[in-house]
Amino acid sequence: MTGVALIGSGRMGSFHGETLSRRLPGVELVAVADPAPGAAAALAGRLGARRAYQDADQVWGDAEVEAVVIAAPARFHAELAVAAAGAGKHVFCEKPMALTLDDADRVIDAARSAGVVLRVGFNRRFVPDWVAARGLIDNGQVGTPRLLRSLTRDPGGFDPARIAPGTIFNETLIHDFDTLRFLNPGAEAVEVFAVADALVEPAWRDRGLLDTAVVTVRFDNGAVGTAEACFEASYGYDVRGEVLGDGGMVAMGDGRRTGLTFSGAAGRLVETTRSDQELFGAAYTAELAAFVSAVAAAQANKKLSETSDHAHNDIHRRANSGVNRPASNELSETDNSVSGPDNGVSRTDSRVSGDDRHRGDDGYGATGEDARAALAIALAAAESVRTGKAVSVRAGQAVSGADGAGAQAEARAGAESVAGAEAGAEAGAEAGAGAGAGAGAGR
Ligand SMILES: NC(=O)c1ccc[n+]([C@@H]2O[C@H](COP(=O)([O-])OP(=O)(O)OC[C@H]3O[C@@H](n4cnc5c(N)ncnc54)[C@H](O)[C@@H]3O)[C@@H](O)[C@H]2O)c1
């Protein structure tokens, strides 16, 4: 059993909590933490978790918690992830992992020095269409990618007052930026140009709302990607993608709720998906299953290396005492069986940054480096809108435009400018009635 604590029990946290307590074998939801009075206790009670904490700090000292799933609002992610890793807990963090590159680095460093698994909630890496597309790209059938496309359309019904500046880039399009990287393996963004506006809620334009955006991303292998998002589509929640290479084209997502078509006097109709949890429920489950499997592998490797260290020391002790001196190949066999105390973690975490990795036991889960690279594109896009210019991205840093630090500062200011503990896009759109119910901007 892997003991997991859920941090943040809102809309996404509730779904993850249900996954941890009901959908995954070998996992126990040990605790739920949420600062909103009564929120953790209510979810813990419903899901049978033994402990409810109002302060996430209480999780760090809980010896039965081996891993955490962070589903708090974005502006708390980096602090929570650093603290969790510092306490030796494996970390699954909802996107975005951080709102600045410095914070992203802090999370990556904390996980690395603690030797814990770090995965980020880019769920499209676990949707069958996208996984199959990546497979065709990996085996060469699509050829070298030339044009890539990824789009997100939310069902609308959001409250513009609760949308922090930068949300469309940091929380929504960040999925598309990660997807472009995922489908262009090994390539990194070099230049970003973005156009954005408030077309759904034009009255909020002057207050800085951006609810509609198109971003062009040029990659270092020459491919050009387009990411687009709109916070309102009258027909529901719509996520699609496409890659055109010199060998062919793959297209992902058709927006259908089921395989049903209805033919009648008005013509032929299909039903469309209405919310992220409807479209991506299975992917949300699969990403946590993959995380838990990465944690189990890391723990098994740690145990193996401890056992082996033990055996190794024993052999040395016996060798030094002159008793039972082992044949030299006996020693090297022992040494080959493991490769250091963080063997499992470094093996999985070295599969990073849009590289040529293949699907492992834990799927294509996004690492901290993947999350940082997607954030770098998001920050460059925000800066491009601000300056009206293309922004270069080198080694993950926006390096041109009026002020390279501007986008980061804006992200931080935006995160802090919205009042209320749950304010921000995470809270948006719960009010969405009918078609939009339950889904919202920033998914
Ligand atoms: N992968 C996806 O497609 C997807 C979809 C939806 C949401 N999300 C992400 O999940 C996160 C949460 O979104 P949501 O829609 O559940 O938001 P929400 O507002 O419904 O819930 C947030 C919860 O976190 C709690 N909280 C606030 N501060 C906290 C803290 N410091 N520690 C612990 N809990 C805290 C709040 O009380 C609230 O219960 C966001 O980062 C969002 O971007 C991802």
User: What pLDDT is stored for residue 304 in this prediction?
Assistant: 84
How many other C-beta atoms are found inside a 10 Å radius of the C-beta of residue 41? 17
Please name the residue whose Cα sits nearest to atom 1 of ligand 1.
121
Q: Higher pLDDT residue, 440 or 202?
A: 202
Q: Would the pLDDT of 430 be above 90?
A: no
Alpha-carbon distance 178 to 169, whole Å? 12
pLDDT band at 414 (very low <50, low <70, confident <90, very high): very low
176 lines ligand 1 (CB under 6 A): no
pLDDT tens-digit readout, 284-339: 999 999 999 999 999 998 888 887 766 666 655 655 554 443 333 333 333 333 23
Q: Which atom of ligand 1 is nearest to the CA of 74?
A: 41
The CA distance from 429 to 312, in Å, is 58
**Residue 420 banded pLDDT, cuts 50, 70, 90:** very low
Q: Give the per-residue pLDDT at 442.
A: 61
Helices first, then strands: H and E counts in the chain: 13, 16
Q: Quick check: CB of 154 below 6 Å from ligand 1?
A: no
Determine the Cα–Cα distance for residues 250 and 186; give it in Å rounded to an integer: 18
Average pLDDT value for the chain:
84
Q: Ranked by mean pLDDT, which of 225-229, 333-337, 437-441 comes out on top?
A: 225-229
The residue-averaged pLDDT of 172-197 equals 98
Radius of gyration, alpha carbons of the chain: 23
- The whole-number pLDDT of residue 396 equals 54
Provide the residue type at 272 as one letter. T
Ligand 1 centroid to residue 95 C-alpha, Å: 10
Pocket probe mutation, ligand 1, options 7, 11, 57, max atoms within 8 Å of Cβ: 11
| 182: pLDDT strictly greater than 70 | yes
CB-ligand 1 contact for 238 (6 Å cutoff): no
pLDDT number for residue 19: 98
Cα 297 to Cα 302: distance, rounded to the nearest angstrom: 8
Mean pLDDT of 145-157: 98
Residue 341: predicted pLDDT: 31
Q: Report the range of poorest mean pLDDT among 9-13, 36-40, 111-115, 311-315.
A: 311-315
Q: Is 73 in the pocket of ligand 1 (CB under 6 A)?
A: yes
CA distance 429 to 425: 8
Report pLDDT for 330: 32
Residue 245 Cα to ligand 1 midpoint, Å, equals 37
Q: 119 CB less than 6 Å from ligand 1?
A: no
Quickly list DSSP for 236-280.
--EEEEEEEESS-EEEE---EEEEEEEEETTEEEEEE--SHHHHH
CA 94 – CA 201 distance, rounded (Å) = 27
Q: According to the model, what pLDDT value does residue 258 have?
A: 92
- Ligand 1 pocket member 184 (CB < 6 A): no
Cα 111 to averaged position of ligand 1 atoms, centre (Å): 21
Is the confidence at residue 172, as pLDDT, over 90?
yes
8 A C-beta contact, residue 171 and residue 425: yes
Q: Which atom of ligand 1 is nearest to the CA of 13?
A: 16
Can you give the pLDDT at residue 361? 63
Centre of ligand 1 from the C-alpha of residue 93, in Å? 10
Query: Is any ligand 1 atom within 6 A of the Cβ of residue 423?
Result: no
- As to burial, measured by CB atoms within 10 angstroms (0-12 exposed, 13-18 middle, 19+ buried), residue 258 is exposed
Q: Is 443 in the pocket of ligand 1 (CB under 6 A)?
A: yes
Ligand 1, atom 3, residue with closest C-alpha:
443
Q: Which of 18, 59, 68, 94 to mutate to test the pocket of ligand 1 (most atoms within 8 A of CB)?
A: 94
Q: Which residues make beta-bridge pairs with 145?
A: 245
The preferred substitution site among 32, 34, 97, 175 for testing ligand 1, maximizing ligand atoms within 8 Å of CB, is 34
Q: Is the Cβ atom of 427 under 6 angstroms away from ligand 1?
A: yes
Residue 220, C-beta contacts closer than 8 angstroms, at least 6 positions apart:
187, 188, 189, 190
Q: Which residues contact 218 (CB under 8 A, 6 or more apart)?
A: 189, 190, 191, 192, 224, 225
pTM for the full predicted model: 0.84
Residues in the chain: 443
